[in-house]
Chains A and B, each alone.
Chain A
Amino acid sequence: MLVGGAQPTAGRPGAERTGRTKTPWRAQGASAGTGSPRAFGAQRAERLAPYVLVAPAVLVVATLRLWPLLLGVNYSFTGDGARDGTSVGLDNYAELVDDPLFRTALGNVGLLVLLLPVAVAIPGMLATFLFLRVPGHRLFRSVYFFPAVLSPVIVGAIFNLLLAYDGPLNSLLEKAGIGAVDWLGDPDVTMFTVVGVHIWATFGMALVVFLAGFSTLDTTLLDAARVDGASLARVIRHVIVPGLSRTIQFVFVTTMIGMLTSMFGLLYVMTSGGPEGSTYLPEYYIWIQQGQLNRPALASAASTVLFLIMLVVGLVQIGLLRRAGREH
């Protein structure tokens, strides 16, 4: 106990239960003014306590999150290999722009943005039905949420099995007369396959967030709408969507962040960026440049670009929140 000397009862667990009267803390602080050095130390310890309590957190976040962030931006303006440590201006960024793999990665980010409404609408619709107590809603909720807690590695491995060219899904499709699809080998198909698997794995997350939003919804409005005989579609449009605008925005942003930063596991296990580099995303590009090709400075430049993309996502979110705040 740091200050046990000044407060004899403080260090003894269970002292509260003995029922003896205690000197109030403030009164003790006042009596510390009599000049006892230990009491003075105790007072100082109390004053410093908040800083001591946050110190480990500050240390970890500052040295291992914020400092590397600055370091990374700095790296991105230096060279790799022979030019290690020397300033190269914007060379790395120029190289990124010229690299077809990085351009593919950015193009795929665009594709993710286009698919974002789908990834939000699916859990939104499902949450609506669960909220309206479709038969079995409790069970559905548990089942839908489960893949969201599985590692992308496990999900990717499972779908590798299912979607292999000679795998079970294709054998079913062939039996049904549709013919096999090269889910993981056709450059025009594979990115959609991976995004589809990602949505399969994560829609439960958004679903749970939607359901939490629903629980804050004003049910009198819903009842009024029902009494008026409004159709389900109208209720969704005029009651549910406006009532959940904050939740919907939150899901949009978290889903986008999830797509930008948590598909590495799937890409690593399912495609390794292929076929023909068609499934690169910035995060995978960073990993390849850093981990495989030993180009940390180039990887840092790609990191900085990814950070800027995230920043834009964040700023758009704040902008939307502000506007929504004015409307209400």
Chain B
Amino acid sequence: MRVPRRRRWAVAVPMAALALATVYPLVFTANVAMKSRRDYILDRFSPADSLRWDNIATAWTSVGLGRYFVNSVIVVASAVALLLLIGSMAGFALSHLRFRGSRALFLCFLAALFVPFQVVMVPLAQVMADTGLIDTYPGLVLAYVAQFLPFSIFLMTSYYSGIPREIVDAARVDGNTLYGVYRRIMLPIGRPALLSVGILNALFCWNDVLISLLMMPSAEHRTLMVGVTSLRGQYSDDIPTFAAGVLIAALPVLVIYLFFQRQIADGITAGATKG
């Protein structure tokens, strides 16, 4: 089934226009980031005359985004590592090991998936303050793990459910304990799902602003996204530096997208086709 030839172009042209409208704001921002303040005020749309990196350098150093960038990388890497470990362990147990309460447990995790952060954020901040974890990296990492774990468990469980029982049985016949099966069979075999889950979680954590705002009140602990929001007031009259900050925050996402677009889409649609 295809659109009739004559009408295909009638559809393709508006869709191309929409694609341009999707890309243009990003191109515009990148272009502004390469301009001097003077050039921006004179003409916002003209292409930058050369690739000037001074705005990026200013945003990175004197604005302090470099430091926030490092904060974000540390937090995101720790959170993703924990999510993959805990999520795959639980996914293996819930998909292949029958134990008392496993079904109810899975439903609990599924229910937790539908509890948005906004609903638990007030008491969570209280719990974190009571335990001294507020404004610490472990606290923020834990908050991210708690937020995205149900999703990770769900995806890992549904992926592992597709692995035939025989593989697990054979591994046990070969003398592996369950921990051995997890480490030597389930982890390597789960690589595609782990990649999807890891990349999605990395994006979720990297892009987050609410959890980070709540958990990290002090300025030197800011993550990159919170850092970018703080640019708004400070640099409202220096648009090119502001745009450079936005570009710094968007670039890692763009790189990940270019390499892992399929895994991202797979992870998002896994919930739709199996849920």
Interface string of B117-131 (1 = CB under 8 A from A): 111111111110000
A50-B93, A64-B143, A132-B1 known; A25 vs B118 contact (CB < 8 Å) = no
A50-B99, A269-B232 known; A72 vs B120 contact (CB < 8 Å) = yes
Q: A61 contacts B232, CB within 8 Å?
A: no
Q: B114 contacts A310, CB within 8 Å?
A: yes
A71 within 8 A of B: yes
Q: A54 contacts B122, CB within 8 Å?
A: no
Q: Give the residue of A65, A168, A223 whose beta carbon is less than 8 angstroms from that of B150.
A: A65
Interface string of B85-104 (1 = CB under 8 A from A): 11101101110010100100
A-B pair number, CB within 8 angstroms: 313
Q: B177 contacts A45, CB within 8 Å?
A: yes
**Which A residues lie within 8 Å of B142 (CB)?**
60, 64
Q: Give the residue of B22, B28, B123 whose beta carbon is less than 8 angstroms from that of A144.
A: B22
B183 to chain A, nearest CB (A): 9
A135-B12, A161-B29 known; A57 vs B87 contact (CB < 8 Å) = yes
**Which B residues lie within 8 Å of A39 (CB)?**
none
B112 within 8 A of A: yes
Please measure, in the bound complex, the distance between the C-alpha atom of A323 and the C-alpha atom of B109, giving whole angstroms. Answer: 25
A68-B127, A216-B273 known; A205 vs B209 contact (CB < 8 Å) = no
Q: Give the residue of A1, A154, A286 whose beta carbon is less than 8 angstroms from that of B179.
A: A1
B218 to chain A, nearest CB (A): 14
Interface string of A124-163 (1 = CB under 8 A from B): 0010010011111001101111110111111001111110
Q: A61 contacts B150, CB within 8 Å?
A: yes
Please measure, in the bound complex, the distance between the C-alpha atom of A16 and the C-alpha atom of B243, giving whole angstroms. Answer: 56
Please measure, in the bound complex, the distance between the C-alpha atom of A219 and the C-alpha atom of B1, giving whole angstroms. Answer: 8
Q: A310 contacts B119, CB within 8 Å?
A: yes
A13 within 8 A of B: yes
Considering only CB atoms, which chain A residue lies closest to B120 in the complex? A68
Q: B207 contacts A161, CB within 8 Å?
A: no
A191 within 8 A of B: no
A303 within 8 A of B: yes
Looking at B55-63, B167-175, B190-198, the stretch in contact with chain A turns out to be: B167-175
Q: Which of A232-246 contact B (CB under 8 A)?
A: 232, 235
**Which A residues lie within 8 Å of B264 (CB)?**
145, 149
Q: Give the residue of B3, B124, B207 whose beta carbon is less than 8 angstroms from that of A150.
A: B207
Please measure, in the bound complex, the distance between the C-alpha atom of A257 and the C-alpha atom of B99, giving whole angstroms. Answer: 33
* Extra contacts besides A151-B207, A157-B242 (8): CB < 8 Å: A25-B175, A61-B146, A65-B120, A71-B126, A72-B122, A145-B264, A146-B26, A232-B3
**Can you give 24 contacting A-B residue pairs, CB < 8 Å?**
A1-B180, A2-B177, A10-B177, A22-B174, A25-B174, A49-B179, A50-B102, A51-B99, A56-B86, A60-B149, A67-B127, A133-B3, A134-B3, A136-B12, A154-B228, A154-B246, A161-B242, A219-B1, A264-B210, A287-B210, A287-B213, A290-B125, A300-B123, A314-B114
**B-side interface residues toward A, CB under 8 Å?**
1-4, 7-9, 11-12, 15-16, 18-19, 22-23, 25-26, 28-29, 32, 44-45, 85-87, 89-90, 92-94, 97, 99, 102, 105, 108-109, 112, 114-127, 142-143, 145-146, 149-150, 153, 172-180, 182, 184, 203, 206-210, 213-214, 225, 228-229, 231-232, 239, 242-243, 245-246, 249-250, 253-254, 256-257, 261, 264-265, 268-269, 271-273, 275
